[in-house]
A = this chain, B = another copy of it.
């Protein structure tokens, strides 16, 4: 009956029992053919495969996960997918995980929600491992996940004193790179536009930047708080640029704020890079667009993601392995938003 209610599918999917009947073997044998780990006579195998093809049989992944205790699903939690840079992260993760025959269960917490809110669902669906990127979670939460036995990988953030693994860009080293570049090229009035205050990415970039400046005797860096968005970067730059003693260089904690800063300079008729240098962090696609030509620190996304997946799958295979935290160095990408010769 086509219009019955209650959510049942219109046709019952075919099961291994039906394939077994058609092939004239037991259901166990059908299972063996598809699990590919047991040995089956090649003639039997052919008969089963033929029957399966005829019926359009595909093993039910959920049923097998019940007994193998492996779902081959990895949960990915991402607060804001649209925050620039993260679509690339998500796409790469998804494709690389599929290449490893892992499925992706996606959770986006959104502005109003917290990781705490989606965690129960993550766990009810028995993901084999969990990747948390671009989302804030406290160390208590981390410990709870780990205690439940789900391997956890933090991407571009890390939590001290926990048992989660983490892969991150070396944000401190990146900040130092920028400090050296700006001092080497004779900039004298430096400013930093900060991203979200409580994120390790922002903190580390700032620490690396100011620490290296201090090592080289520069202490007067100005600072504006923003929140990793174009709008807040634009506004923070405006505040810096209308002052009497305006900076001759601004380091922004990510690219999208740097683009806002460039547009702020454009508004005010300040010429880049002659009167003002602007440097970002990430190297998102828009950084290379003609309107911006942003000098920035490139995050080695592909390396970070491959390493993340490797680390996570390794811990799924061998739950006893100790957690690791790895930092991957970024690299400067020189374009035209920062002047390169001392005046």
Interface size on A, residues (CB 8 A): 77
| Other-chain contact of A108, B80, B98, B147, B285 (Cβ < 8 Å) | B98
Tell me the number of copies of this protein.
2
Known A-B contacts A10-B149, A124-B58; A234 and B290 likewise in contact (beta carbons under 8 Å): yes
Q: Does residue A307 face the partner (Cβ distance < 8 Å to B)?
A: no
**Chain B: CB-nearest residue to A121:** B103
Query: Nearest chain B CB to A322's CB is how many angstroms away?
Result: 10
Query: Nearest chain B CB to A94's CB is how many angstroms away?
Result: 4
Q: Does residue A335 face the partner (Cβ distance < 8 Å to B)?
A: no
Q: Does residue A161 face the partner (Cβ distance < 8 Å to B)?
A: no
Contacts of A54 in B (CB 8 A): none
Contacts of A81 in B (CB 8 A): 81, 87, 90-91, 94
Q: Does residue A262 face the partner (Cβ distance < 8 Å to B)?
A: yes
- Which of A21-29, A63-71, A200-208, A240-248 binds B? A63-71
Contacts of A65 in B (CB 8 A): 62
Contacts of A1 in B (CB 8 A): 320
Check if A11 sits within 8 Å of B82, measured CB to CB: no
Check if B108 sits within 8 Å of A106, measured CB to CB: no
Q: Does residue A41 face the partner (Cβ distance < 8 Å to B)?
A: no
Q: Does residue A267 face the partner (Cβ distance < 8 Å to B)?
A: yes
Query: Nearest chain B CB to A114's CB is how many angstroms away?
Result: 13
In the complex, which of the residues A4, A120, A121 has the most CB atoms of chain B within 10 Å of its own CB atom? Answer: A121
Contacts of A4 in B (CB 8 A): 319-320
Query: Nearest chain B CB to A129's CB is how many angstroms away?
Result: 11
Q: With A and B bound together, what is the CA distance between A58 and B120 in angstroms?
A: 8
Query: Nearest chain B CB to A321's CB is how many angstroms away?
Result: 7
